[in-house]
Amino acid sequence: MRRFILTGLIIIMTVSMAHSQVLLSLIFGDKLNSGKVEFGMNGGFNLSYLRGIAESKAQN
């Protein structure tokens, strides 16, 4: 039981740290970048489309 709780806490803390990294990169932007580490976010427009299937339409 202890191992299960410890594993759960580690997973929760890892997710929290990932959210913190995104927040810091939004606040500080290019000031965080160095020669070895680069923070940034990518955005894009994605469409799903299957070729060869008549019923398939581009969906967002």
DSSP string, 1-60: -HHHHHHHHHHHHHHHHHHHHHHHHHHHGGGG--SS-----------B--TT-TT---B-
Q: What is the pLDDT of residues 37-52, one digit of tens each?
A: 777 666 666 666 667 7
- Categorize the per-residue pLDDT at 60 as very low, low, confident or very high, splitting at 50, 70 and 90: very low
pTM over 0.85, yes/no: no
Average pLDDT of the segment spanning 19-40 = 74
CA distance 27 to 1: 39
Q: Is the pLDDT reported for residue 2 higher than 80? A: yes
What contacts 37, CB < 8 A, 6 or more positions away? Answer: none
